[in-house]
Amino acid sequence: MTDIGSATTGSCCAPAPPRGGFRCQYTGHAPPGSTDRLVVRGEIDRLEFIAFWLHEQRVLAEMNVNTWNVTNPINQLIGDRTLIDPERLADPSVPLAELTTPS
C-alpha cells in the first residue's frame, strides 16, 4: 500500500488518457498503524472499486477507482464517524447513502 499522506480529498492519479485508463480519488486520512481493517467494495479486477480504511468500524479514509457519484455519502461516512457494518459496506447492492443513516 502506498502512503498517500495527509491529503483530505484529492486526485491521486493523472486524468484518464483518451483511450482508457482510470480515475481515482482519496478522501480522509489514515496514517500508518491507525486502521484495523480494509474493506473493498466493487471489482478490483475491473478497476471499479472503493477501498475503505476502517478503525473500530468507522471509516477513516477511502480511495475510489473508476466510481462516480460517491463523494457526498463518503464524506458523510468519514465526517460523521458513522459506525459501519463492514459486510454491508463491502456489498455494492447496499447504497452508500443508506449506510450514512444510523440503523
Question: φ, ψ for residue 24 (rounded to 5)?
Answer: -140, 155
Q: Which three cell numbers stand for residue 17?
A: 488518457
* 67 Cβ contact partners less than 8 Å away, ≥ 6 residues apart: 42, 48, 49, 50
Mean pLDDT, range 19-35, rounded to an integer: 87
Which residues face 53 on adjacent strands? 38, 61
pTM score: 0.78
What pLDDT is attached to residue 100? 80
Note the pLDDT tens digit of each residue in 32-75.
Answer: 999 999 999 999 998 999 999 999 999 999 999 999 889 899 99
Cell of 103: 440503523
